[in-house]
Structure 1
Amino acid sequence: MAATSVTATIFHFGLVWYYFYTYYHYTITFEPSLRQFRPDTYGGLWKFLTFWGLILQLVYFFWSCITDMVSASAPHSSAGRATVAFRDWFLAAIVFPIGSLVVITFWAIYGMNRELIFPAALDEFFPAWLNHALHTFVLPLLLIDMLLVKHKYPSRISGILGAVGFALCYLVWILYLGFAKDIWVYPFLKVLEGPYFILFFAVMTVVLIIFYIIGEKLSSVLGGSEKKVSTAKFD
């Protein structure tokens, strides 16, 4: 393995443990007044996009470890090509856009009015380091990964459809929680009136697509990646 590959492998293995450790500390039980944040209410931790993002990071870096090992032992095998293809598609379509959305929207709303997304009452239960692990460090770690690994991005239509499809699944889920179970994971959604409610999600869709394109450009600049032109499974 080349020096860069060894560094990337060590980095990936380290982040698997980092995100697992973060998950362990994220299983917090909040007081009854913070009902929508309690993991023991309907939906558990799966109510939060932040938690979905945490699992995505864990899965991505675990898969990267597998890819590193397979690529080192049999880089030109069909298994090696398949693991790399899925890793690159998963990063491009899901992990980077969703991770960026979590970080940027969280701090943007937090800056305007933190009570709408992360009430001050949570500070008693939620340590600052954990907040930053979930809502800040995501992007720097992904950028380091892009710097260490040369990714091949899929076709733009494939990547964007993957990102929007994933976001749509989450949207259906939180709307079900809100309207059917009266659990509004993000309190600000409850106060948005009809047109603004629709506008918010339309804007978020556009923002997600922008994040996908930004990820594509950043990967190219940092790692020298190129868009795929092959007919691989995940194109």
Structure 2
Amino acid sequence: MNRLYHVPLSPFCRKVRLTLAEKRIEAELVEERYWEQSPDFLRRNPAGKVPVLRIEGRLLSESQAICEFLEEIAPNPPLMPRDVDGRYEVRRLCAWFDDKFHHEVTSKLLYERVNKKVTKSGYPDSKNVKSGAQRIKFHLDYLAWLLDQRRWLAGNEMSLADFTAAAHLSSLDYISDVDWNRHAVVKDWYAKIKSRPSFRSLLADQVPGFPPPAHYADLDF
């Protein structure tokens, strides 16, 4: 049985969960208290990070590498374009969200509001929260700019770029930190992603002490 060691609200874990579901690859979900750095977990990934995927006798880490591995072993439905320019654009946008967006927004909002409490590592830093709330506006504007020119984020076909962005935004939506009224085109794009069968397990997530808002699992939000 394949097994994914994950944290429910981690956008990196959600990215892998979405890819697995799209590829119809079953995997048991095992919540990992990665911050405790247990010897068993460090043997699975010495970097001490989630996600970690056990599949076909392999232990895989790093979300982008995992997703591209899954694309190689299960090419249908495709989440990477066939042309070199298209693959570049998908990878560029995946890096944008996993690096820039994560640093400027996810780590400032989700990590401050939720992770610190869960890991008992302190209280939210109001300056970080304020910064994240400000910076997400820029990123939502960038999403709108992309979607004004394309059907999906990286082009005319849905790709890993869309799932990477949706993984971050869904984590933030769980704590009501996304203004879906800022751009209708962004809300419509997210509604299409959110309505996919692969999204169902994400919408069923529950984090003790942090109930999701009513709109979180609503497909007509």
* Short-chain TM bin: 0.3 to 0.5
TM-score in terms of structure 1 length: 0.35
TM-score in terms of structure 2 length: 0.36
More RCO (CA 8 Å, sep 6+)? 1
Structure showing the higher strand proportion among its residues: 2
